[in-house]
């Protein structure tokens, strides 16, 4: 159970406070309700570019890192298709430094041509190294638009193509900041050796005068139900063949998501999981195989990816995957097997509650989903899933017409 207090400033900034006297540290986690799904389809990669720009200095603080390091602090950030999240950890006695830094870049980020050029080059280099010049690196650039025909989940956080970042203009960057980076579109979580009254005083002092901005209300095109299987065969200079199967699953807030997540664990969590045991250990058809969920705020994907063993045809490998999936649809999962994956998830949740930063990030994410209190009910949502629920959800997910398959084949 993660206890927290909540208050909202007059400008709309939501602040959650988790008091934890067991540590001398504090964390300030600032989540902006903007991700890659909120980008213009002709200007993708901006949310991720902005993650980098936010460390380029503000009008009054040319270097974000230096003053933080002087007080023993560390920081980082990440961007997803749904959110952009910034976090600072530092000794609690120096908490105000984090408020000073975060408020100044929210109010007055320094938009310099030099900063834009530097960060644009950094992101472009990341695009090249991780997505274009690495074996299998461009999988999501191909699989996402295969699975999504309408929803903006059809591109990864890095963007659709390199040119969108290369051609990013200052006026576009400023417009993106104005639209999304304001108190009314932010959630701040402060945790550690802090008191709610002190946090509220600091929040009002450093953030209270920042203009609220306009609330960004999404009106995204929803993905229609997929009615037929989709396939793409791609040849590349890679060492071995690979298979990627994307299947539509419910959104994070839906109970069906928890059923699908458990199915993913049944399939590939540990050496006793079904895909590993059947296709790697017993039949030796694959050298590697996994199943994972994108965990998206809107309906997401379960992605099954594997690399067939030498001498195994791609057709044989694909058919073998579907055999395992079909079994989950046709036969109830034994309670002992289901309990095992539930226990693993429950232990993961317990360990997450031991990390101050994890608690802060999770509170922020569940708050943007609708209510941070849902974090304390997440384990219960997993535990209530029955064997019948698993079979019913498997029948819904594991249909050929719900699948988008990328066959990533070696040229050699």
Stated as kind and residue range, the H or E segment containing 223 is none
Question: Residue 377: its pLDDT value, please?
Answer: 95
Average pLDDT score over residue span 389-393: 98
User: What are residue 194's phi and psi, to 5 degrees?
Assistant: -130, 165
57 falls in which pLDDT band (50, 70, 90)?
confident
Strand partners, 14: 8, 187
Residue 174 banded pLDDT, cuts 50, 70, 90: confident
What is the C-alpha to C-alpha distance for residues 235 and 223, in angstroms, rounded to an integer? Answer: 28
DSSP H or E stretch at residue 96: helix 95-108
Superfamily of domain 5-208: Metalloenzyme, LuxS/M16 peptidase-like (3.30.830.10)
Question: What would the mean pLDDT of 77-105 be, rounded to a whole number?
Answer: 96
The pLDDT score that the predictor gives to residue 385 is 97
Task: Give the tokens for residue 104.
Answer: 């100044």
Lowest-confidence region among 8-17, 110-119, 146-155: 110-119
Residue 55: predicted pLDDT:
86
Q: At 61, is the pLDDT very low, low, confident or very high (cuts 50, 70, 90)?
A: confident
8 A C-beta contact, residue 401 and residue 409: no
Who wins on pLDDT, 208 or 63? 208
For the chain, where do the domains classified as CATH 3.30.830.10 start and end? 5-208, 230-410
Model confidence at 327, in pLDDT bands (50, 70, 90)?
A: very high
pLDDT in tens, 288-304: 999 999 999 999 999 99
Sign of CA pseudo-dihedral 12, 13, 16, 22: negative
Query: What's the whole-number mean pLDDT along residues 2-11?
Result: 97
pLDDT digits (tens, 9 = 90+) for 252-287: 999 999 999 999 999 999 999 999 999 999 999 999
Task: Lowest mean pLDDT of 112-116, 145-149, 398-402, name the range.
Answer: 112-116
**Kind of pairing between the strands at 286-293 and 242-249:** unpaired
| pLDDT mean over 90-111 | 93
Distance CA 43, CA 55 (A): 21
| 141 band by pLDDT with thresholds 50, 70 and 90 | very high
Cut 0.75: pTM above it: yes
Radius of gyration of the chain (CA): 23
pLDDT at residue 167 tops 80: yes
Contact by Cβ (8 Å): 193, 23: yes
Burial degree of 211 (CB within 10 A; 0-12, 13-18, 19+):
exposed
Q: Tell me the sheet residues that pair with 304.
A: 245, 291
Task: List all residues 6 or more positions away from 367 whose beta carbon is below 8 Å from its beta carbon.
Answer: 14, 16, 31, 187, 189
Say what the pLDDT of residue 156 is: 96
| 230-410: CATH, from 1.20.58.220, 3.30.830.10, 3.50.40.10, 3.65.10.10 | 3.30.830.10
Please report, rounded to a whole number, the percentage of residues in the chain having pLDDT higher than 70: 100
- The rounded distance, in Å, linking the Cα atoms of 55 and 73 is 15
Q: How far apart are CA 365 and CA 115, in angstroms?
A: 29
Q: Mean pLDDT over all residues of the chain?
A: 95
Residue 82 confidence (pLDDT) above 80: yes
The whole-number pLDDT of residue 70 equals 94
Of 184, 28, 14, nearest in space to 102 by CA: 28
Per-residue confidence (pLDDT) for residue 412, from 0 to 100:
75
pLDDT at 59: 81
pLDDT tens readout for residues 180-200: 999 999 999 999 999 999 999
Per-residue pLDDT band for 123 (boundaries 50, 70, 90) equals very high
């Amino acid at each position: 159970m993660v206890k927290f207090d909540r208050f909202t400033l007059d400008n709309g900034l939501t602040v959650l406070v988790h008091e934890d006297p067991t540590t001398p540290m504090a964390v300030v986690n600032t989540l902006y309700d903007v991700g890659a799904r909120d980008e213009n389809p002709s200007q993708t990669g901006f949310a991720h570019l902005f993650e980098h720009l936010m460390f380029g200095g503000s009008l009054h603080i040319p270097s974000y890192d230096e003053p933080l390091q002087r007080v023993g602090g560390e920081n980082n950030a990440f961007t997803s298709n749904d959110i952009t999240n910034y976090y600072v950890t530092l000794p609690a006695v120096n908490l105000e430094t984090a408020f000073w830094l975060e408020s100044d870049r929210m109010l007055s980020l320094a938009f310099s041509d030099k900063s834009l050029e530097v960060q644009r080059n950094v992101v472009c280099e990341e695009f090249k190294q991780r997505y274009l010049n690495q074996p299998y690196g461009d999988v999501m650039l191909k699989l996402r638009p295969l699975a999504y025909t309408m929803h903006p989940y059809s591109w990864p956080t890095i963007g659709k193509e390199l040119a969108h970042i290369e051609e990013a203009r200052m006026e576009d960057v400023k417009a993106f900041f104005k639209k999304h980076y304001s108190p009314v579109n932010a959630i701040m979580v402060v945790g550690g050796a802090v008191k709610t009254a002190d946090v509220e005083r600091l929040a009002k002092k450093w953030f209270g005068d920042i203009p609220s901005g306009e609330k960004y209300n999404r009106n995204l095109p929803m993905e229609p139900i997929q009615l037929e299987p989709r396939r793409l065969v791609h040849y590349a200079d890679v060492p071995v063949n690979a298979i990627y199967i994307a299947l539509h699953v419910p959104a994070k807030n839906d109970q069906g998501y928890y059923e699908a997540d458990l199915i993913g664990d049944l399939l590939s969590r540990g050496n006793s999981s079904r895909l590993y045991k059947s296709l790697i250990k017993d039949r030796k058809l694959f050298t590697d195989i996994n199943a994972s969920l994108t965990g998206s705020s809107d309906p997401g994907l379960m992605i099954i990816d594997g690399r067939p063993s030498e001498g195994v045809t791609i057709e044989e490998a694909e058919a073998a995957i579907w055999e395992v999936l079909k079994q989950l649809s046709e036969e109830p999962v034994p309670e002992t097997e289901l309990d095992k994956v539930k226990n693993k998830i429950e232990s993961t949740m317990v360990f997450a509650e031991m990390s101050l930063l994890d608690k802060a990030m999770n509170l922020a994410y569940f708050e943007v989903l609708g209510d941070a209190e849902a974090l304390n009910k997440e384990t219960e949502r997993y535990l209530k899933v029955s064997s019948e629920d698993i079979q019913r959800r498997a029948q819904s997910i594991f249909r050929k017409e719900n699948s988008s398959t990328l066959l990533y084949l070696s040229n050699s």
